[in-house]
Structure 1
Amino acid sequence: MLGLLFLGISCKTGTEEANQVEKISGSDEMLIRISEIQIYQNYLTEYISILKEEAEASVRLEPGVISIFPMFQKEDSTEFRILEIYRNREAYESHLKTPHFKKYKTTTLDMVESLKLTDMVAIDEETMLDIFSKLNLEMAAQ
């Protein structure tokens, strides 16, 4: 099945691909990003505290923020990844102007060794709803 998906994608013309990318990345579409952040070891505890505070406030206070899900690599606790999902580009732009994001950005500036932001495209947004619903059910059962 996956092979058929790739075959179907590779058979599209350049114009068809451009139209699909434009449709997917339109201003009303979800904005999904993976942030890759390397933190200096001596700031680790402080950074985690600030990041947790910012992520919680973003999801709680901003209706357009679907997910700010921070995590770090098992093998290297200074390597962070954040799955960011916003309802649309407008929600993302609004997020950048919030007091909690500005506080996070300014207080962690010297803690960050490197930052890479990668925009992503969801393949199956409908399943995403199932994933979050399932997570809510699992948490409620505990």
Structure 2
Amino acid sequence: MKAKQVLMLCASFMALCFSTSAGAQEAKRPYVRLAELEIDPAQMEQFDAAIREGVTTAVRVEPGVLALYAVSEKDYPNRVRVFEMYTDEGAYRKHLQTPHFRKFRDTTDKMVKSRKLLDGVPIVLEAKPVAVPATK
């Protein structure tokens, strides 16, 4: 390769590396959804099983799912909070159409006494891998 071609290649590579605009960074921001659920206390065991199956399947098979965390309030275990993070809004919309999400929704719809969905805006997202022992 001639020196001029090498310089052109290097210049092109440098331009690519340093050309991230605010718009490009915005496009790469993950899509975050928060769900606040209140579950019928008499159906918590069935709900727990359904959400475990739905979450583990989604994380395992959907490339656009970055994280799904479901927790219950310590003093009110029937109040469940779900943190969802996707590569983008399109991945979230695709998730809503999957067979495993539809099964989860169909199974749990009558168990959920109230549902509030909130869009989140990432400020800082950091995590370490954690293994939580299975309960039940």
Q: How far, CA to CA, are the matches of 1:121 and 1:102 in structure 2?
A: 26
Secondary structure of the structure 2 residue equivalent to 1:110: coil
Q: How far, CA to CA, are the matches of 1:104 and 1:30 in structure 2?
A: 23
Runs of at least 4 residues off by over 6 Å: none
Matching of residue 93 in structure 1 with residue 93 in structure 2: yes
Task: Give the letter aligned to residue 129 of structure 2.
Answer: L
Aligned residue pair count:
107
Percent identity over paired residues = 32
Report the TM-score when normalising by structure 2.
Answer: 0.74
> Which segments of 5 or more consecutive residues in structure 1 lack a partner in the other structure?
1-22
Secondary structure of the structure 2 residue equivalent to 1:105: helix
1:135 aligned partner:
129
Q: How does 1:1-142 map to 2 (within 5 A)?
A: 28-125=28-125, 128=126, 131=127, 134-135=128-129, 139=131
1:16 aligned partner:
none
Report the TM-score when normalising by structure 1.
Answer: 0.71
Task: Give the letter aligned to residue 120 of structure 1.
Answer: G
Q: 1:27·1:90 contact (CA, 8 Å) conserved in 2?
A: no
Q: How far, CA to CA, are the matches of 2:99 and 2:68 in structure 1?
A: 16
CA 114–27 in structure 1, closer or farther in 2 if over 3 Å, else same: farther
Secondary structure of the structure 2 residue equivalent to 1:135: coil
Tell me which structure has the larger Cα radius of gyration: 2
- What's the CA shift for 1:68? 1.1
CA 110–42 in structure 1, closer or farther in 2 if over 3 Å, else same: same
Q: How far, CA to CA, are the matches of 1:103 and 1:29 in structure 2?
A: 29
Q: Larger helix proportion, structure 1 or 2?
A: 1
1:12-54: CA deviations, max 9, x gaps?
Answer: xxxxxxxxxxx6xx66531101100000011100000000000
